[in-house]
């Protein structure tokens, strides 16, 4: 089972929740083995909180068409089939813009002259770390690479092939509501949307909810920094029939522990009590009773 921890914007605490939740459930007897996957590939930072031995490393490549001027007959078809404006036909020249290419193969497969063979280009790397109690997987885009989706897709494929769906995988997702988070969400069994009880939190949560409903995903909400702001997020969830599975408290001590790069729940019982609620909820999800 893959659980994506997502949010409509960055800075809502999804990394804090992902790390603490994975550590917490990895210590529970009646849970499957846990894996934490940081697929916020543009800025993965879960690893800052994890000590362990690197046990696997792999370079990741995406495939980009390379124009062969010798073979090209200048028919112009490639320019018309690319949905991402990653190909431009200018006069007798075809230009490929790698940073816009989604590696969909359409131009390459449809080119009648086989003048656009797909060539590998490094986009980043994936590594696995054996942390105490669980496996940590981190995918990171190289500096200058702009397409997160191909690396996310390959990372999910890696997890699915290697772990055969026996483990509980907690995915620290990219923030926002665009293609990277959709790629994670559509490949996950359940989504935890992390938000804050503030007007900004509500705005971003409503966008995230719209996105999850659009792609038909099962989700629930965790409110972080509970105690600040107002009750509009709770009202919104009530009105829209969205379950709030936990309320992580707003405490100065939590910020201090976080800034020291340490786990929160061993030192803050109120935080641990909320993680327990999430664990109980996930257990029921695993058993198919909610």
Instruction: Based on the shown chain and the rule CB under 6 A, indicate whether residue 65 belongs to the binding site for ligand SF4.
Output: yes
Q: Which stretch binds ligand SF4 (CB under 6 A): 13-21, 44-52, 67-75, 184-192?
A: 67-75
CB atoms within 10 A of CB 91: 6
Instruction: Based on the shown chain and the rule CB under 6 A, indicate whether residue 84 belongs to the binding site for ligand SF4.
Output: yes
Instruction: Based on the shown chain and the rule CB under 6 A, indicate whether residue 199 belongs to the binding site for ligand SF4.
Output: no
State the burial class of residue 41 (Cβ atoms within 10 Å of its Cβ: 0-12, 13-18, 19+): buried
Place of tokens 């009530």: 238
Q: Which is nearer to ligand SF4, 80 or 284 (CB)?
A: 80
Q: How far apart are CA 257 and CA 48, in angstroms?
A: 13
Q: How far is the CB of 89 from ligand SF4 (least distance, A)?
A: 6
Q: How far is the CB of 152 from ligand SF4 (least distance, A)?
A: 16
Instruction: Based on the shown chain and the rule CB under 6 A, indicate whether residue 45 belongs to the binding site for ligand SF4.
Output: no
Instruction: Based on the shown chain and the rule CB under 6 A, indicate whether residue 82 belongs to the binding site for ligand SF4.
Output: yes
- Report whether 248 contacts 222 (CB < 8 A): yes
CB atoms within 10 A of CB 206: 15
Q: Which stretch binds ligand SF4 (CB under 6 A): 86-94, 130-138, 139-147, 278-286?
A: 86-94
Contacts of residue 133, defined as CB under 8 A and 6 or more positions apart, other chains included, come to: 23, 26, 27, 34
- Report whether 108 contacts 33 (CB < 8 A): no
Instruction: Based on the shown chain and the rule CB under 6 A, indicate whether residue 116 belongs to the binding site for ligand SF4.
Output: yes
Which residue from 45, 54, 73, 93 is in contact with ligand SF4, where contact means CB under 6 A?
73
Q: Which is nearer to ligand SF4, 56 or 105 (CB)?
A: 105
Instruction: Based on the shown chain and the rule CB under 6 A, indicate whether residue 86 belongs to the binding site for ligand SF4.
Output: yes
| Residues 87-106 within binding reach of ligand SF4 (CB under 6 A) | 87, 89, 94, 96, 101-106
- Report whether 119 contacts 63 (CB < 8 A): yes
Greatest pairwise CA separation for the chain in angstroms: 69
Q: How far is the CB of 115 from ligand SF4 (least distance, A)?
A: 4
Q: How far is the CB of 96 from ligand SF4 (least distance, A)?
A: 6
Which residue from 5, 77, 185, 264 is in contact with ligand SF4, where contact means CB under 6 A?
77
Q: How far is the CB of 182 from ligand SF4 (least distance, A)?
A: 17
Q: How far apart are CA 241 and CA 239, in angstroms?
A: 6
Q: How far apart are CA 59 and CA 53, in angstroms?
A: 18
Instruction: Based on the shown chain and the rule CB under 6 A, indicate whether residue 123 belongs to the binding site for ligand SF4.
Output: no
Can you give the binding site for ligand SF4, defined by CB under 6 A? 65, 67, 72-78, 81-82, 84, 86-87, 89, 94, 96, 101-107, 111-113, 115-116
């Amino acid at each position: 089972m893959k659980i994506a921890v997502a949010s409509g914007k960055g800075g809502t605490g999804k990394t804090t929740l992902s790390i603490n939740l994975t550590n917490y459930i990895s210590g529970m007897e009646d849970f499957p083995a846990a894996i934490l996957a940081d697929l916020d590939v543009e800025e993965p930072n879960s690893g800052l909180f994890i000590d362990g031995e690197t046990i696997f490393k792999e370079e990741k490549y995406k495939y980009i068409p390379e124009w062969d001027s010798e073979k090209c007959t200048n028919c112009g078809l490639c320019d018309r089939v690319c949905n991402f404006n990653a190909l431009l036909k200018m006069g007798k020249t075809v230009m490929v813009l790698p940073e816009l290419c989604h590696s969909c193969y359409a131009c390459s497969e449809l080119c009648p002259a086989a003048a656009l063979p797909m060539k590998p280009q490094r986009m980043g790397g994936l590594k696995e770390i054996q942390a105490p109690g669980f496996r940590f997987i981190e995918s990171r885009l190289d500096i200058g690479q702009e397409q997160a989706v191909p690396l996310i897709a390959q990372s999910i494929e890696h997890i699915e092939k290697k772990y055969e769906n026996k483990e509980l995988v907690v995915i620290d997702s990219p923030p926002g509501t665009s293609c990277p988070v959709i790629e994670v969400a559509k490949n996950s069994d359940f989504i935890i949307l992390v938000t804050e009880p503030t007007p900004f939190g509500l705005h971003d949560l409503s966008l995230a909810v719209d996105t999850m409903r659009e792609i038909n995903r099962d989700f629930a909400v965790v409110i972080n920094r509970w105690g600040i702001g107002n009750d509009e997020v709770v009202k919104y969830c009530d009105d829209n029939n969205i379950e709030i599975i936990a309320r992580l408290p707003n405490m100065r001590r939590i910020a201090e522990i976080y800034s020291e790069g340490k786990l929160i729940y061993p030192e803050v019982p109120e935080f641990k009590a909320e993680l327990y609620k999430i664990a109980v909820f996930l257990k029921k999800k695993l058993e198919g009773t909610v």
